[in-house]
């Protein structure tokens, strides 16, 4: 995408936000945004070929970028690791427009959009872990992102229906989910340290140890080395 196209994409997305509450993330919203920006509809469709879906995904990526920017300004050194993860998810939601996210959630709930929805959640989790300095190279790389994707998506759904003051109930829900994740990680560590439990779970633990984070070209996110079989 050229610089001019990138600028047009940003203008279209900004203009679209005022139409989303009425028309959702749709072709109608893209057409209205193009008109607002004084851009030819054909150009708008070339930038966002799937119309509302591509607009919604662009809005999601914009939210990830805003979260990373805010996270870079935070004093993370003074926080426990669980608090850093909690802060990242909270910053991600605080930067979002709830009505825009509500319509995006409706769009992503359609069966044909499930792969894009999963990819968007995964990319958010990946962005958070990378920003927090995750150095895992094995199966933990996958499990961290999979678990955080679940935490984030469930927190979003709770947030969309939360009418408490300053979304206090959402942040309490998030705290409980993160506490559950940390409990799971502690349990996994105990299993590996136990002579009995590590024997019972030898096969799944071995599979996790042979997984490797993405590092090259290929259709799947990562690779299984097959070592230790």
pLDDT given at position 18: 97
50-217: what fold? Tetracycline Repressor; domain 2 (1.10.357)
Distance between CA 77 and CA 206 in Å, rounded? 33
Angle, helix 139-160 to helix 114-131, in steps of 10 degrees = 110
Nearest-CA neighbor of 45 among 27, 24, 62?
27
pLDDT given at position 180: 79
User: Mean pLDDT by 10-residue block, N- to C-terminus, for the chain (229 residues)?
Assistant: 87 98 97 97 97 97 97 94 94 95 96 94 94 85 87 96 97 92 59 48 51 57 46
pLDDT given at position 210: 61
pLDDT given at position 38: 96
pLDDT given at position 136: 82
pLDDT given at position 192: 55
Global pTM exceeds 0.85: no
- Assess contact for 195 and 210: CB atoms under 8 A: no
* Token pair recorded at residue 94: 């605080």
Cα angle value 128/146/62 (rounded, 5°):
40
* Token pair recorded at residue 9: 């994409």
How far from the centroid of its chain's Cα atoms is residue 173's Cα?
18
- Assess contact for 85 and 178: CB atoms under 8 A: yes
H helices within the chain, ranges in order? 3-16, 20-23, 27-37, 41-47, 52-73, 81-94, 98-108, 114-131, 139-160, 168-193, 195-200, 202-210
pLDDT given at position 224: 40
pLDDT given at position 119: 93
pLDDT given at position 37: 97
Distance between CA 141 and CA 120 in Å, rounded? 17
Nearest-CA neighbor of 128 among 71, 184, 56?
71
């Amino acid at each position: 995408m050229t610089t001019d196209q990138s600028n047009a994409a940003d203008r279209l997305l900004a203009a679209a936000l005022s139409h989303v509450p009425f028309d959702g993330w749709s072709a109608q919203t893209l057409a209205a945004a193009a008109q607002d920006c004084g851009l030819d509809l054909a150009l708008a469709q070339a930038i966002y070929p799937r119309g509302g879906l591509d607009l919604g995904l662009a809005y999601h990526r914009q939210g990830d970028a805003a979260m990373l920017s805010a996270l870079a300004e935070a004093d993370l050194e003074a926080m426990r690791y669980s608090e850093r993860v909690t802060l990242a998810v909270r910053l991600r939601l605080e930067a979002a427009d709830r009505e825009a996210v509500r319509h995006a959630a409706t769009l992503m709930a359609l069966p044909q959009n499930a792969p894009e929805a999963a990819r968007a959640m995964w990319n958010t989790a990946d962005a958070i872990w990378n920003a927090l300095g995750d150095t895992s190279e094995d199966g933990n790389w996958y499990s961290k992102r999979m678990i955080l994707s679940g935490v984030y998506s469930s927190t979003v759904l709770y947030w969309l229906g939360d009418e408490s003051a300053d979304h206090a109930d959402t942040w309490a829900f998030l705290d409980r989910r993160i506490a559950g994740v940390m409990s799971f990680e502690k349990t996994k560590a105990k299993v590996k340290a136990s002579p009995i439990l590590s024997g019972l779970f030898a096969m799944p633990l071995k599979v996790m140890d042979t997984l490797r984070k993405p590092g090259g070209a290929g259709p799947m996110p990562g690779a299984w080395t097959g070592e230790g079989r």
